[in-house]
A and B are shown apart, each in its own frame.
Chain A
């Protein structure tokens, strides 16, 4: 599903921020990506959701070599990946409903087809009463749940989440982790980047630990 082999990444002429990273993500796998701030977690995630291409090494996603992919082939691959950002990246001018429906609108679905799915998923993340609210009036936790709903509405094969519990209290963090586990049980591969060691200790899953750009798998 996802395989990195001796991948290196540098920004411009700067030093390598990722060095010889090799990993495999199997279908239905759950993995944590840990590491101190600045260790390269976000850079690795950006590689995984195709916002960047590696400067060396091989990155294979859904059986395709990402390095040699043409630009017009990227959207179809990106649609198979859901991403939850640390800063949510909700569009402030759209309602919660429209934010969550965004991936479905992108593939050309009509409101009458996706409306019920969007409402169901907003209920699932506990935002059934915020359907018409706009992001500026949502709390941090509500924004995080709206971002998760948007990431999973199109039933992606891989879910990548960057510090999804970074802005929420422990109770909500536990609830969000439960959401991710439930999604994983339905077959989605999940990768969560976090520096919250307590979150990792609660589960017995693969841990990818980044230290100064190098990856250790435990």
Chain B
């Protein structure tokens, strides 16, 4: 007789009720979750970039009125604004710049005849912004026809859109998680049904519900983890394919997908760790759901 101690066999047989189908379905769900997380990251990153551009700049509009001397008003404004605290630079845009801004909306023809307002770009310190109320009041006194546009409305719109899309992505993630929970519940029931005779022997031999649940749980932990890894790999490949697919056109989806992995901004690498949460969440869902289901079902067995 050999004195070698062989590795003990798995108490719950792996062959009964294999979890291949659950692995495949959960991998698809993890793939969708990765796409959803990626979309959420792209949206938030884009909005953060746009909003930071808007926050570091304000515009003063000066309409063309026959009663006012435009050049004198522009000079007064420039002097006033440049002296204010929190203002880093003041640039007067010439009439051609104004025409360029309008051209996409109304075309190039006839722009000469229009009384296009003049714009003054004011670059502000986005860390220590000026008091915009005081700035507006000072402008009103110096040049009553001047209008200050702080872009707050656009920024609010952008942030509202980002919040809505983030909420939608979150709802999709919740629905994916709920579907995964339902799948694990069905699979746990199937495994227990297929191993009813094993469970009965274990109970009679003095095994607690916790022991039996743990023996079966191991398979679900492995299933959750590997389906998460497969889904994550598939999602990352998908973003890379999207990035290469549209290189020539440099279109929106392609450049956004490329930007997700190739052009991370400072500190943005951390946001990519969100992707790592997908296999972790899949493992946690498989572990916790199967454990609760098994314990509940084992409680029904005498």
Contacts and interface: CB of A to CB of B under 8 A. Distances in A.
Interface of A: 49, 51-52, 71-72, 75-76, 78-79, 83, 89, 91, 93-95, 97-98, 101-103, 105-107, 111-112, 115, 119, 128-129, 131-132, 150
Considering residues B198, B201, B209, B299, which has the most beta carbons from chain A within 10 angstroms of its beta carbon?
A: B201
Interface of B: 1, 5-11, 13, 15, 197-198, 200-209, 211, 299, 302
A94 B198 CA distance: 11
Given A51-B302, A105-B8, A89 B1 contact: no
A93 B197 contact: no
A59 to B, nearest CB: 14
A95 to B, nearest CB: 6
B9 A103 contact: no
Considering residues B15, B201, B206, which has the most beta carbons from chain A within 10 angstroms of its beta carbon?
A: B206
Given A52-B302, A111-B5, A119-B1, A93 B205 contact: no
Contacts of B200: 89
Contacts of B202: 102, 106
State the main secondary structure of chain A at its contact with B: helix
B9 A115 contact: no
Contacts of A52: 302
A30 to B, nearest CB: 22
Contacts of A128: 1
A78 B203 contact: yes
Nearest to A93: B13
Contact of B206 (A51, A91, A107): A107
Contact of A102 (B1, B7, B197, B205): B205
B5 A115 contact: yes
A106 B205 contact: yes
A102 B299 CA distance: 21
